Structures are given as C-alpha cells and as structure tokens.
Amino acid sequence: MLHIVVCVKQVPDSREIRIDPKTNTLIRQGVPSIINFYDMHGLEEALRIKDELGARVTVVTMGPPPAEKGLKECISLGADEAVLVTDRGFAGADTLATSYVVAKTIQKIADKWGPVDLVFCGKQTLDGDTGQVGPGVACRLDLEQLTYVSKVVKVDEEHRRVTVHRQLEDGIEVVETSMPVLFTALKELNKVRRASLPGMIRAARYKPTIWTTADFPDLEKAKIGLKGSPTIVAKTWIPVAKAVNGTMIEGDSPELIAEQLTAKLWEGDLPERLGWTS
C-alpha cells in the first residue's frame, strides 16, 4: 500500500494582519491561526489517492504545541496518523533548518510506519512565503521533486511512476517521474473536502504522536533552530506610501486637459523608454 506524507504548517492568517496606523506596526493580536491553505490542498490530494488506490496518509508538522489542533483537523478529514515535532530547540528555524527537521521526521515516520512513496508540501506558506522547504526536504531525502503541481494525472503504483501537471508562469508542463517523489501543491489541484461525522469523532479522541529532540538521537544540534539557520533577519520596516508634490492639470475642456497631460507625459525620455516613439 502507498504511504503518503503530507507536510502542514499552522500559520497566522497573514491576510488578516492589519497595520496600526498610529504606531506603524503589525497588529498580530486576534489573528486566527489556520493550516496553511496550500497544505490543505496537498492533504486533499493525498486523501483522493487514498480513496482511489488505497494508501496510508501521515501528516507531519514542526511547530509549537498548539499546532496539535491543526493536526486533529487533518485527522478529521481522513488522515491516518499525525506527528507533531516540537521542541524549544526548533524555534527560530529558517527554511534550511526546517527542512532538516522535517526530513529527519519523515525518515523516522518511514521507520515506524513503512517506506514513504509520496510527500506533499504546500507551494509556500502564508508566513514564511518562500516555497523553499519543499525542495529542501526533497534534496535531503534524495526524492524526485515536482513543484507547483496543479493536477495529479496518474499514480502508477505498479511501475512506480507518477504523471502531473506543473503550472508555470507561461503554461502547463506535463511531466512524469519515478517514486519516491515530493510534490508542492497549488490550490488548482482540488477542492478541499469537509470533515465527516466519523472523522470528527475519531479526531476528538485522537492523540497525535509527539516527538522532541530526545526522540532523534542522531540529530545534529548545529543544524536545528536559530543556530542551524543561515539567514538572519537584520531589519524590518513597514513601507509607507510616500506623498509626492504633484502638478494639477486644468483646462476648460476635456480636450485641453488631455492635450496638456499627454504633453507632460511626452516630456523627457518616458516615451522612448515605454516604446511610444517606435
């Protein structure tokens, strides 16, 4: 039976974060925590493969203890097992340190529940917003990597091949590769289901497996958390729109106004740079 791991992350819904106009700082209070929505599309696709071919679906998250809530939500939708890796030592991780811990966890999951055939990550997170953890995990586990997947066309268990669509800026690439493979999920992939009643009952009773650094004897301390993170946030600021001291264009008729405006636009080198002269 296929074994599918889905990487999910609980994130503050950054679309809801506002800026305090007085202090010019981010208001994070009361911002709801959600499972990164791209990850939910990854989970949904894993569950569809499970429905069609039969599979074991394990979800994993690295995060603080409240992330357990998100894992239970995944169980209510139909995931079989959920693993929370949590430790103060993991705090402050950038994408390199995160992919290290997530990859180690997937290895441990494989040891416990059997070899992993497919891994789903989201395209990117709402908070980190890098899309780097997926390729990082694939690299560390030496998996094939197919990012920006908008459709899973075929999972051929027998020949251990998969075919997907990758949505790129300029079109769709149809690509096939071998398992084990890591996908990063787009929202075009599917429509996420709602929890069933039995699912909710199972989730209410379910206790996620919790692992800490103590559960990973060979974990290199220099590669986790803040210390294992090469990138350092040196400065943050809130961009403010700068007012400009502009010119009002007036005229007795729309024709005159239009003439004056275009005359202004045609001053200087703008027409040349915008290709209006050729």
Partner 1 sequence: MMAEEEIEDAMPDWSAYRGVLIVVEQRAGIAKKVSWQLLGEGKKLAAKLEVPLYALVIGHQVEHLATEAIYYGADKAFLCDSPELKDYRTRPYSRICLKLIDVVKPEIVLFGATATGRDLAGAIGTHLPTGLTADTTELDVEPHPSRLLLASRPAFSEKMMATILCKQYRPQMATARAGVFQSLPRNTGLKAEIVRIESTMKEEEIAAQVLDFIQGHEKVNLEEAEIIVAGGRGLGGPDAFALLKELADALGGVVGASRVAVDAGWIKHEHQVGQTGNTVRPKLYFAIGISGAVQHTVGMASSEVVVAINKDANAPIFQFAHYGIVGDLFKIVPQITEEVKRRRKLGLSALPPIPSVPLETTAQIS
Q: Which of residues 104-123 bind partner 1 (CB under 8 A)?
A: none
Residue 210 binds partner 1 (CB under 8 A):
no
Query: Between residues 121 and 155, which has the closer beta carbon with respect to ligand AMP?
Result: 121
Nearest alpha carbon to residue 6 among 68, 98, 80: 80
Q: Which of residues 118-147 bind partner 1 (CB under 8 A)?
A: 126-127, 129-132, 134-136, 138-140, 144-147
In this structure, are residues 7 and 137 in contact, taking their beta carbons and an 8 Å threshold? Answer: yes
The span from the CA of 235 to the CA of 264, in Å, is 39
The span from the CA of 90 to the CA of 108, in Å, is 17
Residue 192 binds partner 1 (CB under 8 A):
no
The span from the CA of 105 to the CA of 128, in Å, is 20
Q: How many residues bind ligand AMP (CB under 6 A)?
A: 24
Count Cβ neighbours within 10 Å for each residue of 24-48 and write b for 16 or more, e otherwise.
Answer: eeeeeeebeebbbbbbbbbbbbbbb
Binding track over 83-102 against ligand AMP, x by CB under 6 A: ------------x--x---x
Amino acid identity of residue 238, one-letter, is I
Q: Which of residues 49-78 bind ligand AMP (CB under 6 A)?
A: 60-63
Contacting range for ligand AMP; rule: CB under 6 A; set: 34-42, 203-211, 233-241, 247-255 = 34-42
- Kindly report the number of other CB atoms within 10 A of residue 167's CB atom: 17
Phi-psi region of 186 (alpha: psi -120 to 50; beta: other; left: phi over 0): beta
When binding is defined by CB under 8 A, the residue of 22, 217, 244, 252 that contacts partner 1 is 244
Residue 144 interaction partner, one of ligand AMP, partner 1, none, beta carbon < 5-8 Å per kind: partner 1
Q: Which of residues 166-185 bind ligand AMP (CB under 6 A)?
A: none
Report the interface residues with ligand AMP, using CB under 6 A: 7-9, 36, 38-39, 60-63, 95, 98, 102, 121-122, 124-125, 128-134
